[in-house]
Amino acid sequence: MGEIATSERQITLYYSSKSIRAKKTLAYAKAEGLPILEIDILKVPLTGTQIAELADRLQIEVEELVNQDHPSYTSHFEHHDFSADDWIKMIRHNPEIMKQPIALRGDITILVNTPTDIIKI
């Protein structure tokens, strides 16, 4: 069992409050009456274990959680091959570079690409 608690009765949404896609996803979920637990990654720092667990639940490498096209990434970092620990540290210190929103419900985890993806969960 991981560090992230999930429930079949509510959707946990990890998002950035600066993300337009996240704002639209939240608005859509609320309009549909979906029970949402909101976790703004800019206000609630994720632990390294939580970041690794999110990647694992999405069945991707930690590196793939990083939006390497984000302005904060391109202005601070160059494209390199980092270790998983290095990627985790980068996300912890620069949460805005993490791909999001990520929605969890029970055993299902998805990276939300369009606001309506939230109903898939």
Structure tokens at 13: 């949404």
For residues 117 and 62, the answer to whether their CB atoms sit within 8 Å is no
What CATH number has the domain bearing residue 113?
Answer: 3.40.30.10
Whether residue 1 lies inside any domain: the answer is no
Domain that holds residue 77: 11-120
Domain count, the chain: 1
For residues 14 and 39, the answer to whether their CB atoms sit within 8 Å is yes
Whether residue 3 lies inside any domain: the answer is no
Whether residue 111 lies inside any domain: the answer is yes
Task: Give the number of C-alpha atoms closer than 13 A to the C-alpha of residue 101, restricted to the C-beta side.
Answer: 33
Whether residue 5 lies inside any domain: the answer is no
Q: What is the pLDDT along the chain (121 residues), one digit of tens a residue?
A: 478 888 899 999 999 999 999 999 999 999 999 999 999 999 999 999 999 999 999 999 999 999 999 898 888 887 777 899 999 999 999 999 999 999 999 999 999 999 999 988 8
